[in-house]
Amino acid sequence: MLTSSFLNVFFLVLALVPSILSAPATSLTKDYYQKSCPDFSKIVRETVTTKQAQQPTTAAGTLRVFFHDCFLEGCDASVLVATNSFNKAERDDELNESLPGDAFDIVTRIKTALELSCPGVVSCADILAQSTRDLITIVGGPFYEVKLGRKDGFESKAHKVRGNIPTANHTVHDMMSIFKKNGFTLKEMVALSGGHTVGFAHCIEFSNRLFGPRADPELDSRYADRLKDLCKHYTVNKTMAAFLDPITPGKFDNMYFKNLKRGLGLLASDHALFKDNGTRPFVDLYADNQTAFFEDFARAMEKLGMVGVKGDKDGEVRRKCDHFNKLNV
Ligand X SMILES: *[C@@H]1O[C@H](CO)[C@@H](O)[C@H](O)[C@H]1NC(C)=O
277 binds ligand X (CB under 6 A): yes
| Interior angle at CA 194, CA 276 and CA 208, nearest 5 | 60
Near ligand X in 284-303, by CB under 6 A: 289, 291-292, 295
As a whole number of angstroms, the distance between CA 147 and CA 31 comes to 8
325 binds ligand X (CB under 6 A): no
Rg (CA), the chain: 22
Amino acid at residue number 161 = V
Beta strands in the chain, from DSSP E residues, in sequence order:
200-202, 241-243
166 is in an annotated binding site: yes
Residue 267: which of ligand X, ligand HEM, none does it interact with, CB under 5 to 8 A by kind?
ligand HEM
> Positive or negative CA dihedral for 12, 18, 21, 25?
negative
> Positive or negative CA dihedral for 178, 183, 189, 193?
negative
To ligand X, the closest distance from the beta carbon of 78 in angstroms equals 13
To ligand HEM, the closest distance from the beta carbon of 229 in angstroms equals 18
Torsional class of 249: left (φ above 0), alpha (ψ -120 to 50), beta (otherwise): alpha
Residue (of 146, 135, 243) closest to 196 by Cα position: 243
Residue 166: which of ligand HEM, ligand X, none does it interact with, CB under 5 to 8 A by kind?
ligand HEM
Which of 101, 119 has the CB closer to ligand X? 101
Residue 64: which of ligand X, ligand HEM, none does it interact with, CB under 5 to 8 A by kind?
ligand HEM
29 is in an annotated binding site: no
As a whole number of angstroms, the distance between CA 99 and CA 108 comes to 15
Residues 6+ apart with CB under 8 A from 93: 158, 159, 161, 162
Identified binder of ligand X from the candidate list 8, 29, 98, 325, rule CB under 6 A: 98
167 binds ligand X (CB under 6 A): yes
Assess whether 202 carries a catalytic annotation: no
Question: Among 68, 170, 173, 323, which one carries the catalytic annotation?
Answer: 68
Question: Which residues contact ligand HEM by CB under 6 A?
Answer: 57, 60-61, 63-64, 67, 97-98, 100, 166-168, 170, 175, 192-193, 195-196, 198-202, 205, 244, 267, 269
User: What amino acid positions are annotated as catalytic residues?
Assistant: 68
Annotated binding site for substrate: 166
Binding stretches for ligand X (CB under 6 A): 91-92, 94-96, 98-99, 101, 167, 169, 237, 239-240, 277, 289, 291-292, 295
